[in-house]
A and B are shown apart, each in its own frame.
Chain A
Amino acid sequence: QAVVTQEPSLTVSPGGTVTLTCGSSTGAVTSGHYPYWFQQKPGQVPRTLIFDTSNKYSWTPTRISGSLLGGKAALTLSGAQPEDEAVYYCLLYYNADRVFGGGTTLTVL
């Protein structure tokens, strides 16, 4: 089974910009992995932010965007807010498998 890797933790200053990445043990992440990004705050159900690499939902803050960067899926927060403090998970689709990354704990400090 593929292993999906994320930074364990990142810190960003309020108003700053941070990029979280999502890599695959099988090689470069492509649009064919249909990357999803989820946000989970303590005690809450995960919330979907991005699907198919860069597509947003109506509730996705405009400061959050998804892309492919250097062979990885990436989630960029521009102008971080205190409410962005959470754990972020990526999800990649493989032919007959779906695999979550280990999650990135984002601190806004």
Chain B
Amino acid sequence: QLQLQESGPGLVKPSETLSLPCSVSGGFINTNRFFWVWIRQPPGKGLEWIGSVHYSGTIHYSPSLRNRITISGDMSKNQFSLKLSSVTAADMAIYYCALNYDDGSGRFYWGQGTLVTVSS
């Protein structure tokens, strides 16, 4: 059973770059079986798809965030990360990492989420 855990700073200053790693246990991320996914949810609001990357190189970034985000993997640590640049108060949210299988099984594993606050 795959398990995911986000980590990173709970507080980021405006205009800085947010960096969030997602550690994966119970399996390896260097596989073509799933996408590495980031989703966020502002407090009291709905879910927003940030982006997803497939090990094969396929990238899907939200058009509204495309210019500010990078999703990448670190195979040596078995983790993938989100970088979001030039953050503002609008980026304050719970950030979830997830794995979305691409093999027809529909499996979708979620991390527990981490709250990121943007404040000076």
Contact = CB atoms under 8 A, between A and B. Distances in A.
Contacts of B60: 96-98
A91 B106 CA distance: 12
Contact of A100 (B47, B63, B64, B106): B47
A13 B107 CA distance: 31
A23 to B, nearest CB: 15
Contact of B49 (A52, A55, A91): A91
Nearest to A52: B106
A45 B96 contact: yes
Interface residues of B, number: 18
A84 B22 CA distance: 30
B106 A46 contact: no
B47 A1 contact: no
Interface in B87-118: 96, 104, 106, 108, 110-113
A100 B49 contact: yes
Interface centre among B39, B47, B52 (most CB of A within 10 A): B47
Interface in B45-71: 46-49, 52, 60, 62-64
Interface string A69-105: 0000000000000000001010100001111111100
Interface centre among A52, A87, A91, A97 (most CB of B within 10 A): A97
Nearest to B108: A48
Contacts of B47: 38, 40, 46, 89, 91, 100, 103
Which secondary structure dominates where chain A touches chain B?
strand
Given A98-B52, A100-B49, A1 B63 contact: yes
Contacts of B111: 45
Contacts of B64: 1
A46 B108 CA distance: 10
Interface of A: 1, 36, 38, 40, 45-46, 48, 51-52, 55, 57, 87, 89, 91, 96-103
Given A36-B106, A46-B47, 15 more contacts: A1-B62, A1-B63, A45-B110, A45-B113, A46-B96, A46-B110, A52-B106, A55-B106, A89-B47, A97-B49, A98-B49, A98-B52, A100-B46, A100-B47, A103-B47
